[in-house]
Chains A and B, each alone.
Chain A
């Protein structure tokens, strides 16, 4: 009975392991579950190249195994001297030409997709009324957070990118300090944010981030280029929504310029004394106006500092000792300056900053 149970356990463990190994990862950040046309093109290329490469592996392994089984000295005898074959032009021609053909098979779609995904010609286009045809987002990567400006809409946000679904969204990418790299694995490949120049590309989002199974309503974005101690924690999140909802979001963002109802007035006071030099709570404006991330949507966000749980305790923890949580980041730790009571009201105030209600 016990033995059977143990075997059963082992079996189920193996089964889980197999499923796991062949698994596709999690919807919010797996390249194997593409949630947009760019990611899907890249995924198709992955499947094509994997199949071609699998063919190569199978051929090699077959010859290898047969040779290993057939030509063992233990079978052939100690004194057997094999024929000293010099080579075979025919065979060598075969294994030169066949790989060339396989490579061509891969090279053609590679070149096609390289140009397709690199095409940003439509970026500046305007319609008859002079309105831009496509949404453009200016991304600025900073030690260790992300700023997203919508230049044509006059708004700016940070840490959580909000985009409409089913249309091409164009990105201008740059880094403000050291090089970073902008990557939303589930939606499409990365592009570096250089310090020297603006890089441009587009992505298409066609899955609603609220529909992610077992998810927290966002896609995950990552920094993919080593940028210092907290490179690993330079995460951002992406919210996708149908166009009407997005337009609504934009409208409420544009309204944050006016005086808002605040969740905690004492908190606002603390904010105005200690935080306002670096952080804005109005989303109206452009990049680089303040040194720190824009907080207009703070209450709507999914994480504190890009990676910590989005609750009051985590927020207080973060403000108290930012250097412990994200070593090397530019925000000082406020544990000394602010009392527990001040932190408490400040957190309440920040959590109340929202445009989505």
Chain B
């Protein structure tokens, strides 16, 4: 357990990663897992765009096309965007609040492995050849009518992955409430921590409806239930409500951490305190709250009646107010600052116009009667890609550059970073701007092919070309990651030079116990305050050097998730094979045994001796 780097065998390294409960390593695992699925989702997107680059194209079949759009949406939301954000939350939030780990390290690891096995389960459908094909929303009448096991993969895969997400959310809530360093009051928490906090609270309330909905769907499909079967007294509209009661908060769960990341970036690269910090916090909480009040705006055309539509229309528009507050606060943060355009800042600057564009089209669709035209047309496709790519994905790319040194101890190449940005940014607008007009011109979404002579040919071609620009941007990023990792030039604590929060006052990457001494926090932007007052280290310790309690690694989370993964196949093939029921029982028993092993074994962790910490401190010249 020494912090001094030793040459380990491959097996030992692998074992270390499979059993780790260290939030920094789990952050990297999330980042790798999410990155992998991001590439898969991206390939699916390219196939979709290629199919639509010309009218009446037969590049993919109708069935395969529906597989692609379903898996693209599901993968990007659940298996790419969420895990990538969780990666950054794991890697950074404990550091930002001066903690040595999250509140429940074991649960943290379990959350990751459940996401990973859930994602794997979903994607194994490609090899079996029965892929989810009812859209990422899987509306009940179509998902019940869908042949083969596609929707079963969707229901069980998301159930497993969703369980992991729920655990991660609870973990971050408890961590942020309980593990803050002395002096880190709520109103001194960095914005990324705040947005993680609110997003986690939203996960806590939004994911249970998804869990319930997926269970009902699973029962309908695999065990003869009739929750959504209207011929047997069920109701398909209930699925739509349940899905969107989860689904709308879900998009805020994605965008809030993105807001947090950009708040950090604007502040760092303008060398200026975030403008209107209390109103930023208030706006975040308000968005989180309102996020649960507007789900029916996804259902304006379902026929809920004018009263329901009017109420949800006005509620939807109301969200523009706190979001607007945020935009202006960011603008006033860079106003009067000292702006330096690094790669992360470039993404943040690109984010403002992109997201404003996505925001205003959102308000337009909030106007219910207008939405009768825009709903399920290409306009909505343009809108949600403007907020999710223009907001969330730009934030993920920005954070990749910003936090790379903190996570891996080396800097991504800035020039290549800017090349990635420009390809991605131009490609993004080229792909999606024109799609607003495609919607106006009457093109419905989720269409496998379109006939010529409807005035859509050129616009679709432009859109496809844009998609290739985005792909080039991502390829350059991958190249950047590879050459950076090969060169591996080590950097200091604060490679950007203007770090303001605690993570920038410790090593890159931090030692496994993060802080030799828990820091004392004296205000917002703690490190900036210390540095301005002449404390070059940026940290004031709140305790003497003493033994540190750490948790032991464990393979049990992986085994528990593996059991659920196996049980999933059993449930799916239960009726048509002899082994199905056996496998279902085996998988569940496997998980229960793993759980029992965890409960019966008294794992109290271990202590890092004071001497070891002092030795580390000495090596670093007395600094944290």
Listed in ascending order, the chain A residues whose CB lies under 8 Å from chain B are 20-21, 23-26, 29-32, 39, 41-42, 45-46, 49-50, 53, 56-57, 60-61, 63-64, 66-68, 71-74, 76, 80-88, 91-92, 95-96, 99-100, 103, 106-107, 109-111, 113-119, 173, 175, 177-179, 181, 183, 185-186, 188-192, 194-197, 199-200, 220, 222-233, 235, 307, 327-328
Contacts and interface: CB of A to CB of B under 8 A. Distances in A.
A111 B310 contact: yes
Contacts of B271: 73, 80-82
B335 to A, nearest CB: 5
A119 B307 CA distance: 11
A178 B302 CA distance: 14
A29 B441 contact: yes
Contacts of B369: 41-42, 45, 110, 113-114, 116-117, 189
B454 A56 contact: no
Contacts of B235: 196
A276 to B, nearest CB: 28
A41 B66 CA distance: 34
Given A60-B356, A195-B236, A196-B236, 15 more contacts: A25-B442, A32-B440, A42-B372, A83-B336, A88-B332, A103-B318, A106-B317, A110-B368, A115-B306, A115-B310, A195-B141, A195-B230, A197-B303, A229-B63, A233-B448
B276 interface: yes
Given A45-B367, A225-B376, A327-B61, A103 B142 contact: no
Interface stretch (B81-89, B97-105, B322-330): B322-330
B334 A114 contact: no
A307 B539 CA distance: 70
B309 A223 contact: no
7 contacts: A21-B434, A53-B360, A53-B363, A110-B370, A195-B236, A232-B450, A233-B449
B441 A81 contact: no
A229 B272 contact: no
Interface of B: 61-63, 65-66, 134-135, 139, 141-142, 145, 230, 235-237, 270-273, 275-279, 301-303, 305-306, 309-310, 313-314, 317-318, 320-321, 324-325, 327-329, 331-332, 334-341, 349, 352-353, 356-357, 360-361, 363-364, 366-373, 375-377, 434, 437, 439-442, 444-451, 454-455, 458-459, 532
A83 to B, nearest CB: 7
A87 B356 contact: no
Nearest to B273: A84
A224 B376 contact: yes
A82 B356 contact: no
A55 B301 CA distance: 28
Contacts of A73: 271, 338-340
Nearest to B237: A196
A224 B62 CA distance: 16
B454 A177 contact: no
3 tightest A-B CB contacts, nearest first: A189-B372, A118-B306, A25-B441
Nearest to A61: B353
B188 to A, nearest CB: 13
B448 A82 contact: no
A179 B230 CA distance: 11
Contacts of B302: 192, 194
B368 A49 contact: no
Given A82-B272, A86-B277, A196-B237, A60 B352 contact: yes
Nearest to B375: A190
Nearest to A55: B360
A302 B548 CA distance: 79
A185 B270 contact: no
Contacts of B335: 63, 66-67, 71
Contacts of B314: 107, 110-111
Nearest to A93: B279
A181 B270 contact: no
Nearest to A225: B376
A49 B363 contact: yes
Contacts of B273: 84-86
Contacts of A92: 276, 279, 325, 328-329
A317 to B, nearest CB: 14
Contacts of B451: 235, 307
B276 A199 contact: no
B272 A84 contact: yes
A63 B331 contact: yes
A76 B373 contact: no
Contacts of B356: 56-57, 60-61
A64 B309 CA distance: 35
A249 B356 CA distance: 51
A193 B162 CA distance: 31
Given A113-B369, A118-B306, A230 B352 contact: no
Contact of B447 (A60, A66, A231): A231
A226 B145 contact: no
Nearest to A214: B453
Nearest to B276: A87
B265 to A, nearest CB: 14
B461 to A, nearest CB: 11
Contact of B310 (A114, A189, A192): A114
Nearest to A22: B437
B134 A226 contact: yes
A232 B448 contact: yes
Given A73-B338, A80-B338, A231-B446, A45 B270 contact: no
Given A42-B373, A226-B135, A107 B313 contact: yes
B278 A57 contact: no
Given A49-B363, A110-B310, A110-B368, A81 B338 contact: yes
Contacts of A117: 306, 369, 372
B66 A21 contact: no
A95 B441 contact: no
A194 B370 contact: no
B444 A46 contact: no
Contacts of A88: 275-276, 332
A46 B336 CA distance: 37
Given A60-B327, A114-B369, A191-B372, A229 B448 contact: yes
A91 B360 contact: no
A83 B337 CA distance: 8
Given A186-B442, A194-B303, A196-B237, A46 B370 contact: yes
A280 B329 CA distance: 66
B562 to A, nearest CB: 34
A226 B142 contact: yes
Contacts of B340: 72-74
